[in-house]
């Protein structure tokens, strides 16, 4: 399934849900915020939230800043 | 009666309140530019800061494993304040603020919109618009702003929790170049005033507190110093000294002439009775 992750094409192998996508990308345990087609997906609903061909996923994390 | 007692207790502890949250430390710390997470966490601890700024970025294609901020989340008594750095206008800042709230679980946001990478001066119009929308959305809005008393009043009127005027350009180390304007802001502000950006030395932080500022926010001054942990501790001492001096009340300025502190008669002459 082809997704756009952070602006780049991403071929998801098996990821059916947002949670599964994070696992597949190796960032399952990290503090990230997920934006699916311009809508924030709360951490509590990542497992339930399914992905579809062509979805746009944006992932953000905290970094050092002043 | 009990309420008065609590207020007095707060006064004794010299707490300050921003957006309904009480803090005792008047030093806020940024987390950028540190060489590694260990130094950053050490500096935050040494500073005694209770409000710590962080930024938000997209995750790269191959996410690096070094998580600078992981250890911060485990520290007790620290409120994370995500900033909106990287936003070029109000709508980008509003979006960043909402993502930051989701990630940090904190209503605090440092609204920071500086479209020009050369001087990084905050855009007053976009900052005002973002602050207005976010305050209405129940964020604790802390705007990084030009040291402009008119804008300060407008930001206060739309519900900002504090004002964060710059001392001088971000990372410049030019100190309190805006001192005159800061005094005008302080004169009329009914919400906390925090000097954000430009400080280089602890004495400048002390001067800001002596002037009546409620707090200061530093990052480069600590992170780019020779020993960030020791410098963070030095800033903490300076902020405390400056605040205590403000509370004590500085002596009036003389008119330019000296005023002796010891008797001026020859020490061999007889003491006046």
Q: Are B68 and B33 in contact (CB under 8 A)?
A: no
Where do we find the tokens 């070029």? B88
Residue B141, pLDDT above cutoff 70: yes
Q: What is the mean pLDDT of residues A29-50?
A: 89
Q: What is the mean pLDDT of residues B87-93?
A: 96
Q: What is the mean pLDDT of residues B138-143?
A: 98
- Secondary structure letter of residue A51 according to DSSP: -
Domains and CATH numbers, chain B: 11-248 (3.20.20.70)
Alpha carbons within 13 angstroms on the beta-carbon side of residue B121 total: 9
Distance, CA of B21 to CA of B29 (rounded, Å)? 17
| pLDDT value at residue B62 | 58
**List of chain B residues whose C-beta atoms are within 8 Å of the C-beta of residue A33:** 56, 99, 102-103
Give the residue with greater pLDDT, B66 vs B266.
B266
Residue B37, pLDDT above cutoff 70: yes
User: What interface predicted TM-score (ipTM) does this complex get?
Assistant: 0.85
Interface check B160 vs A, CB under 8 A: no
Distance, CA of A11 to CA of A5 (rounded, Å)? 9
Compute the mean pLDDT over every residue in chain B, rounded to the nearest whole number: 90
| pLDDT value at residue B68 | 66
Contact A66 B82 (CB under 8 A): no
| pLDDT value at residue B67 | 66
| pLDDT value at residue B64 | 57
| pLDDT value at residue B255 | 75
Contact A63 B40 (CB under 8 A): no
Distance, CA of B269 to CA of B178 (rounded, Å)? 50
Interface check A26 vs B, CB under 8 A: yes
Sign of CA dihedral B50, B109, B18, B231: positive
Render pLDDT for A42-56 as a digit per residue (tens, 0 to 9).
888 988 999 999 999
Kindly report the pTM of this predicted structure.
0.88
Q: Determine which of B5-9, B98-102, B142-146, B158-162 has the lowest per-residue pLDDT on average.
A: B5-9
Pick from B146, B140, B137: nearest CA to B164: B146
**List of chain B residues whose C-beta atoms are within 8 Å of the C-beta of residue A25:** 63
Q: Determine which of A11-25, B64-78, B158-172, B206-220 has the lowest per-residue pLDDT on average.
A: B64-78
Torsion (CA) A25, A46, B74, B69 in degrees, nearest 10? 40
Q: Are B56 and B100 in contact (CB under 8 A)?
A: yes
* A35, A59, A63 member nearest B68 (Cβ): A63
For residue B99, what is the nearest residue in chain A, using CA coordinates?
A33
Q: Which fold has domain A2-60?
A: Ubiquitin-like (UB roll) (3.10.20)
Nearest Cα of chain B lies from the Cα of A62 at a distance, in angstroms, of 5
Residue B11, pLDDT above cutoff 70: no
| pLDDT value at residue B52 | 96
Nearest Cα of chain B lies from the Cα of A52 at a distance, in angstroms, of 20
User: Cβ contacts of residue B22 below 8 Å, gap of 6+?
Assistant: B10, B15, B16
For residue B37, what is the nearest residue in chain A, using CA coordinates?
A64
Annotated domain spans of chain A: 2-60
Cβ of B211: how many Cβ atoms within 10 Å? Answer: 18
* A33, A61, A64 member nearest B31 (Cβ): A64
Is B33 an active-site residue? no
For residue B40, what is the nearest residue in chain A, using CA coordinates?
A64
Nearest Cα of chain B lies from the Cα of A22 at a distance, in angstroms, of 11
Interface check B177 vs A, CB under 8 A: no
For residue B219, what is the nearest residue in chain A, using CA coordinates?
A66
Pick from B81, B76, B99: nearest CA to B194: B81
Interface check B161 vs A, CB under 8 A: no
Q: Are B18 and B26 in contact (CB under 8 A)?
A: no
């Amino acid at each position: 399934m082809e997704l756009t992750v952070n602006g780049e094409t991403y071929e998801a192998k098996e990821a059916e849900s947002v949670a599964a996508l994070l696992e597949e990308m190796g960032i399952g345990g990290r503090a990230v915020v997920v934006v699916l087609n311009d809508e924030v997906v709360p951490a509590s609903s990542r497992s339930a939230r399914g992905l579809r061909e062509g979805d746009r996923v944006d992932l953000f994390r905290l970094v050092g800043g002043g | 009666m009990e309420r008065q007692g609590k207020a007095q207790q707060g006064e004794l502890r010299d707490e300050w309140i921003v957006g309904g949250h009480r803090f005792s430390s008047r030093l806020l710390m940024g987390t950028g530019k540190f060489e590694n997470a260990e130094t950053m966490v050490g500096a935050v601890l040494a500073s005694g800061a209770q409000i710590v700024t962080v930024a938000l970025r997209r995750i790269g294609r191959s996410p690096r494993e070094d998580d600078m901020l992981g250890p911060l989340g485990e520290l007790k008594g620290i409120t994370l304040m995500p900033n909106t750095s990287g936003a070029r206008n109000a709508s980008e800042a509003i979006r960043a603020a909402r993502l930051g709230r989701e990630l940090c679980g904190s209503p605090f946001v440092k609204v920071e919109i500086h479209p020009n990478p050369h001087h990084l001066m905050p855009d007053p119009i976009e900052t005002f618009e973002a602050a207005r929308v976010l305050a209405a959305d129940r964020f604790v809005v802390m705007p990084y702003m030009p040291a402009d008393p008119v804008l300060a009043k407008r930001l206060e009127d739309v519900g900002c929790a504090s004002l964060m005027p710059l001392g001088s350009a971000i990372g410049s180390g030019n100190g309190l170049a805006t001192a005159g304007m800061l005094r005008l802001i302080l004169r009329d502000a009914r919400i906390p005033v925090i000097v954000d950006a430009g400080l280089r030395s602890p004495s400048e932080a002390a001067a800001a507190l002596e002037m009546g500022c409620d707090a200061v926010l530093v990052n480069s001054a600590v992170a780019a110093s020779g020993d960030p942990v020791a410098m963070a501790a030095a800033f903490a001492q300076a902020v405390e000294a400056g605040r205590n001096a403000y509370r004590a009340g500085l002596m009036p300025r003389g008119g330019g002439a000296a005023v002796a502190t010891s008797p001026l008669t020859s020490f061999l002459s007889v003491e006046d009775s």
